[in-house]
Amino acid sequence: MRLNNNIFLYIAIFLVLGGELFAGYCIISWSLYYKLLGLCLHIILVYLFSSIVKKLKIDDSHIDFNFTLVSFILTSVLPVYGMLGMIFIYLTLRFVKVQPVEYFQVDESFLPKPSYFTLKDADKSIVNIKKEELDIEAFTDIFKSNDRQLEEVAVNKLSKIVNKRSVSLLQGVVENSTTDTKVLAASALIEMENKIINKIEEIRISVEDDPEQVMAILELARTYDLYCYLGVLDVAVNNHYQKLALVQYQIYLDYHPTDAEAVLEYGRILLSCGKFDEAIQTLIKAKDFSPHNPNPLIWLAEAYYESEDYLAVQGICQKLCSLQNLPENFKPVVNLWAVGEPLNSIKPAENVIQEES
């Protein structure tokens, strides 16, 4: 039915266009009578043309009130030519697939997807996170070069690397840049945050519809954690999302209490929330589940340090020294702790790496 209606309207448009050609001929004639006749006919045809355009119904249409208004004005001012131009514009919008181009194409691979986990930022070891952040340091010099083109490329690249360091660099551009690059950086930060918010809402609705989706619960916990990890939230909102993440991890671990990665993530958030005793107990479990993995030990040393149990930190570092897969950038600090240097003057490995970066 809609197709038939549109065909009828197309025929009406061409009939109006034929009448407009006659009106145009009358307007340019030498006779005053024909000029007035052509002008009156033109006004009537403009009204009919705009009304027909307004009635056109198209799926995903670009035709709206503004288009109708522009059509009325243009066809009124330019007899014949205005109507031909609007017909051309209409046909272009009708048959050409116009896709909006986003400047920032944020890679969503960092976000959790149903039945397949690609979210790694929330559960990466501190070692891998620091390695990525060192790679991002290459962008720092670009923002000092005053090369607008390179800066725009760097902002676009950083918008696809969703971790704490990339967010920090973009925030620095927003605060310190005096060029239009700061607008692009602000847009990238908003885009990154919106992607995560949308993903949180999507997973949350999925969990509400089916509370037994255990893996979706873990996805939701990790996405809450990622949102906090990026460092774009103020303290109050950050604490709120950390509590939401803790609740989801607790629910998931009730189903899978031996999931080593989830236990480690849960312990790390407890540590970040200042719940040192609970964090220590949880990270001890993570260590027992993965005895040859240095990551639980690194976070456990951090938890003991925050609780001011320096002898325990020394014991953990001695265990770390015995692991052959301890990363090179941790060895100097770990060795200092292990040999019994003045404990109160030494910072844990995690803090030292943060200051160096």
- d(C-alpha 114, C-alpha 107), whole Å: 16
Nearest in space to 163 (alpha carbons), one of 194, 203, 197, 120:
120
- d(C-alpha 313, C-alpha 87), whole Å: 77
The pTM assigned to this predicted structure is 0.53
Which residues face 116 on adjacent strands?
113
Q: Which of 2-16, 23-37, 169-183, 232-246 has the lowest mean pLDDT?
A: 2-16
Are 49 and 13 in contact by the 8 Å Cβ rule? The answer is: yes
Q: How confident is the model at residue 46 (pLDDT cuts 50, 70, 90)?
A: confident
pLDDT per residue over 270-280, tens digit each?
998 999 999 99
**What pLDDT does residue 95 have?**
59
**What pLDDT does residue 278 have?**
94
- d(C-alpha 227, C-alpha 209), whole Å: 23
In degrees, to the nearest 5, what angle opens at C-alpha 290 toward C-alphas 289 and 292? Answer: 150
Q: Which of 133 and 174 is assigned the larger pLDDT?
A: 174
Instruction: Provide the mean pLDDT of the chain.
Output: 75
pLDDT per residue over 64-86, tens digit each?
566 677 777 878 888 877 778 77
Using DSSP's 3-state secondary structure scheme, residue 161 falls into coil
Q: How confident is the model at residue 286 (pLDDT cuts 50, 70, 90)?
A: very high
Neighbours of 348 (CB within 10 A): 23
CA distances from 162 to 151, 172, 241, 252 (A): 18, 15, 18, 25
pLDDT at residue 62 tops 60? no
Mean pLDDT value across residues 82-93: 75
